[in-house]
Amino acid sequence: MLPESISELLKGLESKTFSSEEITRAYLDKIKQHNDTLNCFITVTEEQALAAAKASDQRRSEGKAGLIEGIPVAHKDLFCSTGVKTTCGSRMLENFIPPYESTVTGKFAEAGAVSLGKTNMDEFAMGSSNENSYYGPVKNPWNIECVPGGSSGGSAAAVAAGLCAAATGTDTGGSIRQPAAFCGITGLKPTYGRVSRLGMIAFASSLDQGGPMARTAEDTALLLNVMAGHDPKDSTSSTQAVEDYTASLNQDLSGTRIGLPKEYFSGNLDADMGKALEAAIKVYESLGASVEEISLPHTELSVPAYYVIAPAEASANLSRFDGVRYGHRCDSPKDLEDLYRRSRAEGFGAEVQRRILVGTYALSAGYFDAYYRQAQKIRRLIKEDFVRAFDHIDAILCPTTPSTAFKIGSKTDDPVQMYLEDIFTIPTSLAGLPAMALPCGEKGGMPVGMQLIGNYFNESKLLNMAHKFQLETDWHLRRPEL
Amino acid sequence: MTIQSDELVKIAYLAKLQIDADNTARLTRDLDQILNFVDQMKSVDTTQVEPLSNPLEMTQRLRKDEVTEINQRDAFQNIAPATEAGLYLVPKVIE
C-alpha cells in the first residue's frame, strides 16, 4: 500500500522506508492493472522511469536530493519530452517525437521527479470531457460510465486512481480545474505567465497556462515551487519574483474576506452542489474568514467571448501543422494545396476542425470587428469585474462546474451545450487570474468541487485557504474503489 | 442562418481543411449554432471599451540581436515526413 501524498512519500524516501525504484515499480504495476479500463495514459515509459528512479536513488544516497526527489509523476501529453512520443491527443502527432524538452518537464526532472509517462487528453486540449481524444475517452475512476472532465482528464483520473503521485495539466478555459473537480482532486491554474509555456503545444496562447494536479493543497504548493518562474524562452513569461508557496500554507485565515459572486450561485448551479458549497463557506467562517456577496456582471458573456478568442488563436497556432515539417502527411498528394488540406483533414478530429473553422471565420475580412475585436473588448469588461471585486476582497469562492461528472456520450451531439460546462472556469481564464479546484462534497457518489479564485500572482493565498480547508475536512482523502 | 454552405467552403479553403461534400451540411449547421451562440456578445455596447489581448497587458520583451541557438537542422528534419539533401520535400509547385 503506497502512501497517499507527495509529502508522505518524501518522508518514506528520506527515512529509507522505501526507494524511488520500489515506489516507481508499484505505480507501474497499478498502471498495468488499471490503465486498460481507465485509459489515463497514452504512453507509459516504463524503462525510462525505472532508469530515472535508480538514478534518483543514487542522487539521494549522495545527499543531492532535489525538491521532489524520486517522486513518480505523469505529464499531460502536450508537454514536449525529448525522445518520448508527444501526441497532444491527436492523430496529427501520432508519431511525433519532440527534439526538445518543455521547460515544465525539464524542471520536474531537475527537481528529481520520475516521469511514468504521458497522459491522455482532449485533442489539442480542446474539450471538457476527454471524449475528443484520438486515443479514446478516459473513464472517471469514481464511475467508469462518466467522463473525467477535460482536457487534462487523463492526468486527473490518474491522480484520483493513484496511478501516479501527481501530474501536470494545462488550463486554457478550465482544463485543470474542471477535471480536478470531476475526479475529486486538487488542481491549480496559476496566473497567466507564472509557468513557462515553452514546449507546451499551443492552443490559445493568451490563455494557456500549465499547472499542478495533486491529491492535496500541500502537494500542489510543492509542485508549484517546482514549476513556477521566469523563462527567457517564453516571451509572455512573467518576471515577477516566485514565492515559496509552501511557506504560507498554515497562515491564520481570520480577517480573510471572501467574495461570493451572485452570478455563480444562480440558475446554472445544481441544488445539491449549492449545499456542498454552503457547508464549505461555513468552514471558512469558522476559521475566522468573513463572507460577502459580490457581483461579476459580465459572467454570462464570458463563454461567448471565449469561443471567439480561443478558436481564433487556435486557428493561427494550428496553421503550423502543414504535413511538411512534422506530423501527419496524407498519402500521395497531387499538389501542395492537396497536401495541406488532406493532411490537416485527416490529422485533426471533428472538434479541432470546428474550432479552426470558427476561428478562421472570426478573423476573416468583414467579420474581424464584429467577432474578434468585440470578444477582446468583452474580455476587458470581464477582467474589470474581477479587478473591482479584488479591491475589497482577498479571494472568491464559487463552484468549479455546474454539475458533477456527466455520462460519457451525453453531451457529444451538442457543441454549445458542452461549451457551457466551462461557464464557471472561463471568466478567470480570460482575466488571467489564478484559480484552484478542490473537493468539498459528494453527490450520488461523485465528487463536488469548489473553486477559489485569487488576485494576480496571489497563488499563495489560494493554497493557504485550500490547505486550511483540507485540515478541517476529509473530502480530499476519499478515494474511488477501483 | 448566420452562415451559408458556400461561405463554409470558402472558410475551409482559408483554413486549408479538406471538407467532404457529405460533411458540409453538418459542419455548416454546427458553425451556425456556434456563431448564433457567440452573437450574444452583440448585446453589449462596447464603443468606449479598449480591446484586451494580453490579460496582464504585457508588451513583448525585446532581446539583444545575438545568436543564441545552435543549428539543429538534422534533429528537426529527422521528424519530417520527407526530406532530401537538407530540404523539405513537397509536390512540384512550379510547372
A175 classed as catalytic: yes
Q: Where are the beta strands (DSSP E) in A401-457?
A: 435-443, 446-454
Interface check for B55 against chain A (CB to CB < 8 A): the answer is yes
- Taking an 8 Å cut-off on Cβ atoms, the answer to whether A341 and B16 are in contact is yes
Among the listed ranges A33-47, A463-477, B46-60, which one has the minimum average pLDDT value?
B46-60
- Taking an 8 Å cut-off on Cβ atoms, the answer to whether A329 and B31 are in contact is no
Residue A2 clears pLDDT 90, i.e. is over it: no
* Tally of CB atoms within 10 A around A259: 22
Distance of residue A192 Cα from the nearest chain B Cα, in angstroms:
7
* Among chain B residues, CA nearest to A414: B30
The residues pairing with A450 across neighbouring beta strands, listed in sequence order, are: A399, A438
- In this structure, what DSSP letter does residue A173 have? S
* Among chain A residues, CA nearest to B20: A345
Q: What is the mean pLDDT of residues A208-213?
A: 98
Residues in chain B, total: 95
The residues pairing with A482 across neighbouring beta strands, listed in sequence order, are: none
pLDDT, position A146:
98
Tens-digit pLDDT profile for residues A269-322: 888 999 999 999 999 999 999 999 999 999 999 999 999 999 999 999 999 999
pLDDT, position B1:
66
| Residue from A112, A49, A102 nearest A79 by CA | A102
Residue A15 and residue A3 in contact, taking contact as beta carbons nearer than 8 Å? no
- Taking an 8 Å cut-off on Cβ atoms, the answer to whether B88 and A325 are in contact is yes
Q: How large is the ipTM?
A: 0.96
A151 classed as catalytic: yes
> How far is A169 from A157, CA to CA, in rounded Å?
12
Residue A68 clears pLDDT 90, i.e. is over it: yes
- Residues of chain A with Cβ-Cβ distance to B75 below 8 Å are 99
- Residues of chain B with Cβ-Cβ distance to A97 below 8 Å are 79
Give me the residue from A307, A324, A327 closest to B90, CB to CB: A324
The share of chain A scoring above pLDDT 70, in percent, equals 100
- Taking an 8 Å cut-off on Cβ atoms, the answer to whether A304 and B12 are in contact is no
A155 classed as catalytic: no
Distance of residue A352 Cα from the nearest chain B Cα, in angstroms:
11
- Taking an 8 Å cut-off on Cβ atoms, the answer to whether B51 and A379 are in contact is yes
- Cell digits for A87? 501526441
| Residue from A359, A325, A358 nearest A340 by CA | A325
- Taking an 8 Å cut-off on Cβ atoms, the answer to whether B80 and A361 are in contact is no
Interface check for B61 against chain A (CB to CB < 8 A): the answer is yes
- Taking an 8 Å cut-off on Cβ atoms, the answer to whether B27 and A353 are in contact is yes
For residue A141, what are the CA distances in angstroms to A320, A430, A438? Answer: 36, 30, 17
| Residue from A170, A199, A162 nearest A84 by CA | A199
- Residues of chain A with Cβ-Cβ distance to B14 below 8 Å are 360, 364
The catalytic residue among A76, A139, A189, A411 is A76
| Residue from A432, A438, A426, A437 nearest A457 by CA | A432
Tens-digit pLDDT profile for residues A417-473: 899 989 999 999 999 999 999 999 999 999 999 999 999 999 999 999 999 999 999
Q: Where are the beta strands (DSSP E) in B3-92?
A: 83-84, 87-88
* Among chain B residues, CA nearest to A369: B51
Q: How confident is the model at residue A342 (pLDDT cuts 50, 70, 90)?
A: very high
| Residue from A456, A464, A461, A466 nearest A428 by CA | A456
The catalytic residue among A56, A175, A237, A460 is A175
Which contiguous run of DSSP H or E holds residue A366? none
Interface check for B62 against chain A (CB to CB < 8 A): the answer is no
Residue A363 and residue A372 in contact, taking contact as beta carbons nearer than 8 Å? yes
pLDDT, position A159:
98
Q: How confident is the model at residue B93 (pLDDT cuts 50, 70, 90)?
A: confident
- Domains of chain A with bracketed CATH: 6-255+430-477 (3.90.1300.10)
Distance of residue A432 Cα from the nearest chain B Cα, in angstroms:
5
Size of interface A-B (CB pairs under 8 A): 162
Give me the residue from A327, A339, A376 closest to B53, CB to CB: A376
Tens-digit pLDDT profile for residues B1-31: 678 889 999 999 999 999 988 889 999 999 9
